[in-house]
């Protein structure tokens, strides 16, 4: 019975800012998934469509882990965002400074709570 109380207590201590950052991150990937079906993605090449799909899927997995307060998810999300931005910048495909706003906010929030994660 004590384990149940501790589990409920640990779930209740998950900060609402983490939930907000995760929801913001989930919604930020929706336009990327919609971009997958556009003519622009087709013109860039098949690798770009696969890249969009795979990176969005991995970011969703990382955000789900962050929602559960897992440290591995913070590291994987950060590495995914950095690598995604570098690839888009290198190939000059749909990259702009504004594409850094939401990932930067989410990254700052999740690293702020990193010590409280398991």
| pLDDT tens per residue, range 57-77 | 999 999 999 999 999 999 999
Of residues 13 and 82, the one with the higher pLDDT is 82
At 14, list the tokens. Answer: 């998950």
At 94, list the tokens. Answer: 């749909």
Residue 4 lies inside a defined structural domain of this protein: no
Residue 65 lies inside a defined structural domain of this protein: yes
CA distances, 7 to each of 2, 3, 54 (Å): 9, 6, 33
Domain range enclosing 80: 16-116
Residue 60 lies inside a defined structural domain of this protein: yes
Look at the chain and report how many structural domains it folds into.
1
Residue 103 lies inside a defined structural domain of this protein: yes
Residue 1 lies inside a defined structural domain of this protein: no
pLDDT of residue 34: 84
Q: Is the pLDDT of residue 4 over 60?
A: no
Residue 77 lies inside a defined structural domain of this protein: yes
Residue 5 lies inside a defined structural domain of this protein: no
Q: What is the pTM of this model?
A: 0.81
Q: Which single residue is written with the structure tokens 């994987």? A: 76
Contact 8, 103 (CB under 8 A): no
Residue 2 lies inside a defined structural domain of this protein: no
pLDDT of residue 96: 78
């Amino acid at each position: 019975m004590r384990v149940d109380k501790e589990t409920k207590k640990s779930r209740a201590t998950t900060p609402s800012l983490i939930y907000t950052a995760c929801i913001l991150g989930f919604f930020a990937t929706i336009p990327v998934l919609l971009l997958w079906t556009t003519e622009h993605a087709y013109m860039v090449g098949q690798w770009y469509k696969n890249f969009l799909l795979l990176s969005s899927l991995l970011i969703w997995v990382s955000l789900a882990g962050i929602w559960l307060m897992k440290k591995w998810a913070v590291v994987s999300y950060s590495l995914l965002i950095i690598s995604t931005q570098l690839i888009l910048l290198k190939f000059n495909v749909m990259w702009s400074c504004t594409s850094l706003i939401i990932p930067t906010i989410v990254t700052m929030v999740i690293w702020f709570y990193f010590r409280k994660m398991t």
